[in-house]
Chain A
Amino acid sequence: MEEKNNFVVAADLIMGVLLILFGGSVVRASLKMKVYKTFLDAPGFFPLLLGIIFIILGTIIAVSAIRRNGYTQMKRIFTRISFTELFKSIRFRRVTALVALMVLYIFILIGRVHFALATAIYLFLTLFYLKSTTIIKIIIISIITSLAISGVFTMFFHIPLP
C-alpha cells in the first residue's frame, strides 16, 4: 500500500508538470483563435480560461506532491532497478499484452477482415493468453461468440458492423 502511495505521489508531481505545460499550450492556442466581434464571445475565450485553470490546478497538485516528498519518490522510481521491476511485474505484462491485443483488433483486423473473423481471432488470442479455459473451449467460445454477436446485431438490431 505504501509503495502504491509513493508511486501515486511521484505520478502527481509528473501530472502537475504536464498539466502546467498542457494549460500553457491551451492558452497559446486559444489566443491564436480568430476574434469575430469581441474577445469575450470569441471561440478562444472559454478555452483560454480552461488553460489558465489547468495551470493553476497543475501548480497546486505539483506543489502538494513536492510537499509529500514527490521529488524524492520520483528519483527513486525513475531508476533502472525500479523500471526493471516494473517491466517484470505480472500486472504490467498483463496490461501490455491486453492493450496490444486490443490494438491488433481495433487498428489492424477491423476494416481489413470481416468483423466476425476479426472478433474470433481477437477472442481466441486473448482467451489463450489469459489461460481462461481449455484450448477446445477457447476455440468454441471464440467462434460461437463472434457469430452470435455478429448475427444478433445485424439481424435483430439492424446495426451494420464495422
Chain B
Amino acid sequence: MLEMFLQESTLFWTSFSSTLTLLNLTVIMVAVVLGIIIGAIPGLTATMALALLINLTYGVEFDVAISFLLGIYVGAIMGGCYSAIMINIPGTPAAAATALDGFILAKQGKGGLAIGTGVISSFMGMLVGIVMLVFLTPFLYKIALKFGQWEFFLLAVFGVMICGNLSTGTYPIKGWIVGFLGFFTAMIGLDQIYAFPRFTFGYLQLKGGISLIPALIGVFGISEILIVLQEQIPYKILGKIGRIVPSWKAIRSLIPTAIRSGLIGVGIGAVPGAGEDIGAWVAYDIGKRRSKQGAKYGTGCLEGVAAAETANNAVIGGAMIPLLTLAIPGSPPSAMFLAAIWLHGVRPGPMLPIEHPGFLYLIASTIFLASVFMLIYGLLLAKPMATILKIKREVLMPIILPLTVIGAFAGGMRSFDIKVAFAFGIFGYILRQLDYPMAPLVLGIILGPLADISFRQALMQSRGSLIPLLGRPIGLILLAAILLIIYSGIRRTLEYSREQHRPNTLKPE
C-alpha cells in the first residue's frame, strides 16, 4: 500500500512539474483567456471551439496540445456566465441556469458581484472536480480491466440511451433515435472485421467512413451558425458592472453550496454525454429544494448563481473520469477532447495507466493550472467583457464558417470532409428545430464502432449464445440499467403523449 502510494506520488509530482514550463504556462494562460472570450459570446460554444481547434493541434507537441485544448475548455465553460448575467443570453448552454438569478442581479445593479460569484464558484467547482478525478479514476481503472466484449457493448448502448434520456427531458425517444442514428453513421464505410463496404453506395470517399471531426464540426459549428442567425435578436447590456469580488463572508457562506453542487456536477459529468448544462440545472434545482435560501432562487440570489456555476465547471472533472477509464466522453466538449487525444495516438481505457502512467496526473495538473488562470482572468476580464459583448453576432457568426471549413479539411486534407461537415450542419439544424438533442448523436458516432465490434466478437466467442452474459455481473448490471432506462423512457413518452392529448382544462393552482 505504502509502495503504491509512493509510486503514485512520484508520478503526480513528475507530471505536475512537467506542466510548469514557461511555454506550457503561457499556452494555458492564452488558451484560458481565449476560452473565456469564446464562452462569453453567445453563439460560440466550448464544443464548437474545441471542434474547430482540434486539427490545428496536430502539428504541435502533445503536452502543448493538451494544455491548449483544456485551457479553452475550462475558460469557455466559465465564460458563458458573463453574457448570461449581463444580457440574459447564456454564452454557452452550461450557463443557462446562471441567467435565472444572474440577470436579475444585473438589473439590481449587482452584475459585478454576480460575475465575481460565478467566477469564484467555477473555481471551487473545478477544485472539487479535480479531487474526485484524481481519487476516483484509479478505482475505476481496476473495474474497467474486468470489462470484456459484452461489457463494452452494453456500456456503449447504455451510454447512448442514458444520454438520450437526460438530454430530452420529457421525450427520451428523440434522444434514442439520434443516438442510434449516430451508431448508424459509424457503420458507414469498411467493416472493421472483414473490410466489407457498408452503405457506401459505390462512392470511394465513403469507404473511409464518415470522419468524426467533420461530423462534429457540422453539428456543433455550422448548425449553430444557422440557429444564431435565423433571427435577429437585439440585446443590450444593462447598467454598470459595479463591484466584482464578493466579501470574504459572502464567499464563506457559499462553500456548502459549492461542495454540494460540485459533487452533483462531478456525478453528472461521469454520466456519458450528459454535459455541463444538465449538471448546472440539476444542481440549481436541488439547491432550490434543499437550501435554506431556496425560496430566494430566481429572485436575484447569489447562491443560485453559485449552484449553477460550481456544478457546470465540476462537470469537467467528472467528464474526464469515464473518458480516461473507458474512452467514453462524459460531455460533448470532452468528446472533442477525446477525438484530440486519439489524434495524438493516446488511447484512453483500462490500459492507459500502463501505456501512459502519468497521464491522469498530467490532465489533473493542467486542469488545475487552467483553473487558477480562469480565476485570475475571470475576475480581471469582467469589465472589459462588456466591450467584447457589443460585437454583433451578425458580424461574428459568418466568420465562423471559414474556420469550420479549415477545421473539417485539416484532418484528412479531403474536400469531401468539408461537404460532410456541411451535410451534418444542415441535418443538425433541422433536428434541433424539431427538438432533437445533439449530444446523443455525438456519442453514437464515437461509440458506434465499439458497440459493433464488441457485440460481434462477443457472439463469435460464445458461438452465438447469450448464456455467457449471465455469468458476468458487470454485464448484468449494465443490462438491468438499460432495461430500466427503456422502461422509464417509454413510460415518460406515454405520459407525455397522454398529457398533450388531454383537452385543455383549467387546472387548480
Contacts and interface: CB of A to CB of B under 8 A. Distances in A.
Contact of A38 (B173, B193, B464): B464
Contacts of B399: 123, 145
A29 B199 contact: yes
Contact of A46 (B59, B392, B455, B494): B455
B17 to A, nearest CB: 28
Interface stretch (B23-31, B368-376, B412-420, B476-484): B412-420
A12 B497 CA distance: 12
Contacts of B8: none
B226 A47 contact: no
Contact of B398 (A12, A47, A130): A130
B196 A43 contact: yes
A146 B222 CA distance: 18
B241 interface: no
B434 interface: yes
A47 B198 CA distance: 9
B394 A131 contact: yes
Contact of B394 (A9, A102, A130): A130
Contacts of B456: 40-41, 45-46
Interface in A114-135: 115, 119, 122-123, 126-127, 130-133
A98 B426 CA distance: 11
Interface in A1-59: 5, 8-9, 11-12, 15, 19, 26, 29, 33-34, 36, 38, 40-41, 43-47, 50, 53-54, 57-58
A91 B229 CA distance: 9
Contacts of B147: none
B177 interface: yes
Nearest to A137: B395
B140 interface: no
Contacts of A158: 59
Contacts of B501: 67-69
Contact of B226 (A50, A99, A107, A146): A99
B394 A33 contact: no
Given A57-B176, A106-B422, A153 B452 contact: no
Q: Is chain A's binding surface mostly helix, strand, loop or mixed?
A: helix
Given A41-B459, A57-B173, A162-B418, A146 B402 contact: yes
A109 B109 CA distance: 49
A149 B56 contact: no
Contacts of B403: 149
A127 B394 contact: yes
Contacts of B196: 33-34, 43
Contact of A122 (B191, B402, B413, B460): B402
Nearest to A162: B409
A102 B422 contact: yes
B395 A133 contact: yes
Interface stretch (B32-40, B179-187, B305-313, B321-329): B179-187
A74 interface: no
A127 B501 CA distance: 44
Given A47-B198, A68-B497, A149 B402 contact: yes
A76 to B, nearest CB: 16
A9 B500 contact: yes
A77 interface: no
Given A106-B405, A107-B419, A127 B434 contact: no
B435 interface: yes
Interface string B38-71: 0000000000000000011001000000000000
Interface in B418-449: 418-419, 422, 425-426, 429, 434-435
A159 interface: yes
Contact of B434 (A8, A43, A53): A8
B333 to A, nearest CB: 21
B225 interface: yes
Contacts of A19: 177
B205 to A, nearest CB: 15
B114 interface: no
Interface of A: 5, 8-9, 11-12, 15, 19, 26, 29, 33-34, 36, 38, 40-41, 43-47, 50, 53-54, 57-58, 60-61, 64, 67-69, 90-91, 94-95, 98-99, 102-103, 105-107, 110-111, 115, 119, 122-123, 126-127, 130-133, 141, 145-146, 149, 153, 157-162
